[in-house]
């Protein structure tokens, strides 16, 4: 998120089942959002713990985002926070229809996902589950981790991430394997150096040979500088 704007308590009008709030603070943000190609996320709470979007939510989201989309075309996002901190979210399309958001992730002192990821146990992660528990092991399976540079530091990092059960690893390195790398790049072989194999593709082959399905590896061999600058 690029900017968080809180609506002050004193500006809201409360009834038994509704909260009405002025939109002037939101209107002031729309030029910035439109210029920056950004979207609007509106979040409110359900203090009674209702786990879903009510009919009132449906009506207010359609009315609000119909106006927002005139200035900043959608889709935009509406979210509900429950008393325990869980967040539900959905896309609000320009035509007033809704599409569910499959997962909400919050990154802070801990990594929190809603709903909690579920994953079937594998033979290779039994010890992980005994040490870290099912929740942490399932969380690792749900993560995508990018590693930029697959050499003396990156290759052992990738190896450990894979063996810990990270579900998807993005490998980025435009360089090739040379003889001088063989003592530092895990999984590299003399034949990799002889043919000048790309480091990211080499590591992807190494991970494939591990056979720790259903994980996936994606290699990127283009210029790191151009990717970071873009």
Contact 148, 203 (CB under 8 A): no
- Name residue, tokens 């308590």: 9
pTM value? 0.65
* pLDDT tens digits in sequence order for the chain, 230 residues long: 888 999 999 999 998 888 899 999 999 999 999 999 999 999 999 988 999 999 999 999 999 999 999 999 989 999 999 999 999 999 999 999 999 898 898 888 888 888 766 677 778 888 888 888 888 888 888 888 999 999 999 999 999 999 888 888 999 999 999 999 999 999 999 999 999 999 999 999 999 888 876 566 666 665 444 444 43
**Boundary residue ending a domain (114, 144, 160):** 114
The span from the CA of 180 to the CA of 177, in Å, is 8
pLDDT score of 225: 47
In 3D space, the residue among 79, 74, 80 whose CA is nearest the CA of residue 93 turns out to be: 74
pLDDT score of 223: 47
Instruction: Name the DSSP class of 198.
Output: B
Residue 192: inside a domain: yes
Cβ-based burial of 97 (10 A; exposed 0-12, middle 13-18, buried ≥19): exposed
The span from the CA of 129 to the CA of 9, in Å, is 45
Is residue 159 domain-shared with residue 212, that is, in the same domain?
yes
Is residue 103 domain-shared with residue 146, that is, in the same domain?
no
pLDDT score of 164: 87
Show the domain range for 198.
123-229
The span from the CA of 72 to the CA of 91, in Å, is 14
Is residue 209 domain-shared with residue 132, that is, in the same domain?
yes
pLDDT score of 112: 84
In 3D space, the residue among 212, 141, 144, 139 whose CA is nearest the CA of residue 172 turns out to be: 144
Handedness of CA 25, 26, 30, 32 (dihedral sign): positive
> Which CATH number do you get for residue 158?
3.40.50.720
Residue 157: inside a domain: yes
Is residue 24 domain-shared with residue 104, that is, in the same domain?
yes
The span from the CA of 130 to the CA of 183, in Å, is 33
- Name residue, tokens 């259903």: 214
Structurally, the chain folds into a number of domains equal to 2
């Amino acid at each position: 998120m690029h900017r968080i704007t809180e609506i002050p308590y004193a500006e809201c009008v409360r009834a038994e089942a509704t909260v009405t709030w002025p939109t002037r603070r939101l209107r002031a943000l729309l030029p910035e959002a439109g210029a920056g190609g950004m979207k609007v996320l509106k979040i409110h709470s359900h203090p009674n713990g209702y786990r879903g979007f009510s009919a009132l939510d449906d009506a207010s989201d359609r009315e609000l985002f119909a106006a927002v989309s005139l200035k900043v075309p959608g889709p935009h996002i509406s979210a509900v926070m429950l008393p325990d901190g869980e967040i539900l979210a959905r896309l609000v399309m320009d035509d007033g229809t809704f599409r569910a958001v499959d997962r909400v992730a919050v990154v802070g002192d801990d990594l929190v996902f809603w709903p909690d990821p579920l994953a079937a146990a594998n033979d290779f992660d039994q010890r992980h589950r005994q040490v870290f528990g099912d929740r942490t092991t399932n969380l690792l399976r749900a993560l995508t981790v990018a590693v930029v540079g697959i050499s003396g530091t990156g290759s052992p990092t990738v190896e450990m991430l894979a063996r810990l059960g990270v579900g998807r690893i993005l490998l980025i390195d435009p360089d090739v394997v040379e003889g001088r790398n063989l003592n530092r790049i895990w999984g590299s072989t003399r034949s990799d150096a002889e043919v000048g194999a790309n480091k990211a593709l080499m590591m992807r082959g190494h991970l494939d040979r591990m056979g720790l399905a259903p994980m996936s590896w994606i290699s990127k061999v283009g210029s790191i500088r151009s990717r970071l600058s873009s």
